[in-house]
A and B are shown apart, each in its own frame.
Chain A
């Protein structure tokens, strides 16, 4: 509708592909291809192999996968609980109260993740709560980092939710707690699942704060990938990265299936 001539359109699309494919598609494909290669010093990778996947799905790397999954699921659920609670509370507050909560819960997005890691490290390496050296300090930092995203997406949906449903429920004699459980939360389900997926993906890929905090027995996938590339095993790193991407996509896909079912009703 902007470019009308045929040649103009094709030229535009050519420029688009020329920018888009090398910048966005190629990097992911390169990682994928490298994970199956033993050597890549020409135009194409060579020496097709599955060895890296043997390494990436066994031993330390397998451990890292479970570590990442446990961390991401725990942090996402915690963040979803806190974020949803705060978002629902904010929706019932006045304009000023809502703004205050918005600012407060969005703050972790603005603060660099490394600094969040440092702050958590400083605070929980000393009494009264000693978490340094345990998995809980990693999970805690991830929760802090993703809560903001849970809050934002649930908050946006809670504001959009027409109050008439809650009012209709109340007029039918439903207590506020019943209205929350049977009307508001079910109606918010699509955005809750979207928030859960987002939190999970962010936590799976979190590196900055994790680098500051991880104890030797709790190394999530991103740390594992860094360790591999840092010691020169780029191809193993690529395989672990593919595992990370696959796990993330799989969970996102499952979550979006739940979401379509929820919004279909």
Chain B
């Protein structure tokens, strides 16, 4: 029944002040970025910045790196998150609740902490290489992947997996355990139950969590910055280096516009999916 109209704050007028604030501090700046992406340093309005950026090798490699890193991380997070959430929800052990709480806490820490930790573990002078040289007597350890895209991949999977686990745990808690018991009484093994009962129920949550992680990976900056790898440049990293290190604002704005287009497009997809999933 349409009953709320007469008790709360009435009308769109009340929505105006916060929308106005958002417009000034967010939408208008965003518009300026788009505008500047069409304004080369020489003045005037042209597509020249786009042509320049698209032609540059650094942009192309950043684009490829960003996309495959994000895609790879997302797949990794989905697989890992699904397995871990499955165990927490359906093979519960004492302390499973604490683990779920830990996951929540983990989410409230910044991403670059993971890279920082990995530097101690797999860094050139870190723990893993130290153990290797100590055991084998070699001058140098075998772990140098941290400054390659693989290091970023590992950090992103670690950091973003909880973002998949949370919606999954919520979805699993909605699942009627009687369904599992019935399936199991009918002679279905664990693999079959997972495939035919749990997976279909979890699919919306997986989709929603997966697309969220995809967007966040596309936008991730801290992890990449902290690896300090010159070889790994993603779109957000390129925006930073163009703007801050090179002061090439038109180019930075072009990369920003491309990044926005990809992320916002995927994010709309995420919203559509999660709305259908009822999340």
Q: CB < 8 Å: which of B18, B221, B243 contacts A208?
A: B221
Contact A115 B116 (CB under 8 A): no
B240 lies within 8 A of chain A by Cβ: yes
A sample of 7 more A-B contacts (CB under 8 A), given A89-B9, A114-B236, A122-B29, is A2-B86, A28-B109, A111-B264, A123-B28, A143-B25, A167-B3, A245-B113
Within 8 A of A (CB), among B181-236: 181, 184, 190, 193-194, 215, 218-219, 221-222, 225-226, 228, 235-236
In the assembly, what is the distance between CA of A163 and CA of B161, in Å?
37
Contact B120 A40 (CB under 8 A): yes
Residues of A within 8 Å of B194, CB to CB, are 2
Contact B15 A89 (CB under 8 A): yes
Nearest-Cβ distance from residue B102 to partner chain A, whole angstroms: 7
Contact A249 B105 (CB under 8 A): yes
B151 lies within 8 A of chain A by Cβ: no
Within 8 A of A (CB), among B226-276: 226, 228, 235-237, 239-240, 243-244, 249, 252-253, 256, 259-260, 263-264, 266-268, 271
Within 8 A of A (CB), among B147-186: 157-158, 161-162, 177, 180-181, 184
> Quick one: closest B residue to A34, CB to CB?
B120
Contact B15 A234 (CB under 8 A): no
A30 touching B120 in the complex, CB below 8 Å, given contacts A82-B22, A147-B22, A249-B105: yes
> Quick one: closest B residue to A221, CB to CB?
B110
Contact B215 A110 (CB under 8 A): yes
Residues of B within 8 Å of A226, CB to CB, are 112, 225-226
Contact A28 B117 (CB under 8 A): yes
> Quick one: closest B residue to A84, CB to CB?
B18
Contact A107 B19 (CB under 8 A): no
The 8 A CB mask of A231-263 against B (1 = contact, 0 = none) is: 000100110010011001100100000000000
Q: Number of B residues whose C-beta is below 8 Å from A?
A: 98
User: Which residues does A use to contact B, with CB under 8 Å?
Assistant: 1-4, 8-9, 12-13, 15-16, 19-20, 23-28, 30-31, 34, 40-44, 82-83, 85-86, 88-93, 97, 101-116, 118-124, 140, 143-144, 147, 163, 166-167, 169-170, 176, 179-180, 184, 197-198, 201-202, 204-208, 211-212, 222, 225-226, 229-230, 234, 237-238, 241, 244-245, 248-249, 252
Interface stretch of the complex, out of B46-54, B57-65, B125-133: B125-133
SS of B interface (majority): helix
B75 lies within 8 A of chain A by Cβ: no
In the assembly, what is the distance between CA of A83 and CA of B114, in Å?
30
A118 touching B239 in the complex, CB below 8 Å, given contacts A88-B8, A110-B264, A208-B221: yes
Residues of A within 8 Å of B226, CB to CB, are 226, 229
Contact A163 B22 (CB under 8 A): no
B90 lies within 8 A of chain A by Cβ: yes
Contact A222 B121 (CB under 8 A): no
> Quick one: closest A residue to B155, CB to CB?
A27
Contact B239 A241 (CB under 8 A): no
Contact B14 A89 (CB under 8 A): yes
B277 lies within 8 A of chain A by Cβ: no
Nearest-Cβ distance from residue A131 to partner chain B, whole angstroms: 10
Question: 7 A-B contacts, Cβ less than 8 Å apart?
Answer: A27-B158, A92-B10, A105-B22, A114-B219, A119-B33, A205-B111, A252-B108
Closest 9 CB pairs of A and B: A205-B110, A110-B267, A27-B117, A123-B29, A119-B29, A112-B219, A86-B18, A89-B15, A208-B221
A92 touching B87 in the complex, CB below 8 Å, given contacts A114-B240, A198-B108: no
Contact B219 A113 (CB under 8 A): yes
A43 touching B130 in the complex, CB below 8 Å, given contacts A27-B117, A176-B10: yes
B21 lies within 8 A of chain A by Cβ: yes
In the assembly, what is the distance between CA of A105 and CA of B237, in Å?
25
Residues of A within 8 Å of B120, CB to CB, are 30-31, 34, 40, 234, 238
Residues of A within 8 Å of B121, CB to CB, are 26-27, 30
In the assembly, what is the distance between CA of A97 and CA of B21, in Å?
17
Contact A41 B130 (CB under 8 A): yes
Nearest-Cβ distance from residue A1 to partner chain B, whole angstroms: 6
Contact B108 A1 (CB under 8 A): no
In the assembly, what is the distance between CA of A47 and CA of B116, in Å?
20
Nearest-Cβ distance from residue B162 to partner chain A, whole angstroms: 8
Contact A101 B29 (CB under 8 A): no
Residues of A within 8 Å of B19, CB to CB, are 86, 101, 104
Residues of A within 8 Å of B111, CB to CB, are 205
B106 lies within 8 A of chain A by Cβ: yes
Residues of A within 8 Å of B116, CB to CB, are 31, 225, 229, 234, 237-238, 241
